């Protein structure tokens, strides 16, 4: 982070299904809207009351974008930390601007449920498996332990983390 950056942490709900795009230079990004409603205790009513709902556009880039697109769904509770940025473009009505939160970190709000984390695993060749995830000790691509895997070792690694079974279930 640089100096004089405006960073925010938002707590709210995924308001739209995340959409995956490919930007300039074939860099993937995912965008979605997030809603955050302030709640406060109204002593006159002796009850909790919803305040105004604020709406935000969230963008995630590169590997985070792929993970967000695969993980988040509309209505999921989440926490997002990122840098506030301005996007400018020219639309039919003329010049337009919008505030966007470029996410550094995105995670579930565990106040409302449970979560189970799975690392993204990349196979040899740089492609992630269709639904494959595993743990550091699975090291199916050799990146984590620094070694290269031959085809038999790669197949063993896939079997260990269940990628082969998931690929069969998908096809």
- Is there a contact between 65 and 28 (Cβ–Cβ < 8 Å)? yes
Domain spans of the chain? 7-114, 120-170
Q: Contact 69/32 with Cβ under 8 angstroms?
A: no
Who has greater pLDDT, 89 or 149? 89
pLDDT in tens, 59-88: 999 999 999 999 999 999 999 999 999 999
> Are the C-beta atoms of residues 151 and 157 closer than 8 Å to each other?
no
> What does the block give as tokens for 70?
């695969």
Q: What HEC string does 103-145 produce?
A: EEEEEECCCCCCCCCCEECCCCCCCCCCCCEECHHHCCCCCCC
142 has pLDDT over 90: no
What's the distance, CA 34 to chain centroid? 12
Q: How far is CA 162 from CA 57, 67, 92, 115, in A?
A: 35, 19, 50, 20
Helical (H) or strand (E) element with 168? helix 163-170
Question: Under a CB-based contact definition with an 8 Å cutoff, are residues 123 and 154 in contact?
Answer: yes
pTM of the shown model: 0.66
Q: Which residues contact 160 (CB under 8 A, 6 or more apart)?
A: 134, 138, 140
d(CA 16, CA 45): 32
The fold of the 7-114 domain, in CATH, is OB fold (Dihydrolipoamide Acetyltransferase, E2P) (2.40.50)
- What pLDDT, in 10s, does the model give residues 34-68? 999 999 999 999 999 999 999 999 999 999 999 99
Query: Residue 17 and residue 40: Cα distance in Å, rounded?
Result: 28
């Amino acid at each position: 982070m640089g100096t004089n950056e405006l960073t925010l942490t938002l707590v709210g709900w995924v308001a739209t299904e995340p959409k995956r795009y490919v930007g300039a230079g074939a860099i993937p990004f995912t965008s979605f809207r997030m809603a955050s409603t302030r709640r406060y205790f109204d002593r006159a009513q002796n009850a909790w009351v919803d305040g105004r709902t604020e709406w935000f556009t969230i963008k995630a880039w590169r590997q985070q974008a792929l993970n967000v697109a695969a993980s988040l769904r509309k209505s999921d509770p989440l926490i997002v930390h990122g840098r506030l940025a301005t996007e400018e473009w020219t639309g039919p009505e003329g010049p337009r601007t919008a505030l966007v939160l470029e996410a550094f970190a995105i995670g579930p709000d565990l106040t409302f449920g449970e979560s189970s984390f799975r690392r993204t695993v990349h196979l040899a060749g740089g492609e992630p498996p269709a639904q494959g995830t595993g743990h550091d000790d699975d090291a199916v691509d050799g990146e984590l332990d620094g070694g290269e895997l031959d085809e038999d070792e790669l197949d063993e690694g896939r079997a260990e983390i269940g990628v082969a079974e998931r690929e069969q279930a998908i096809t």
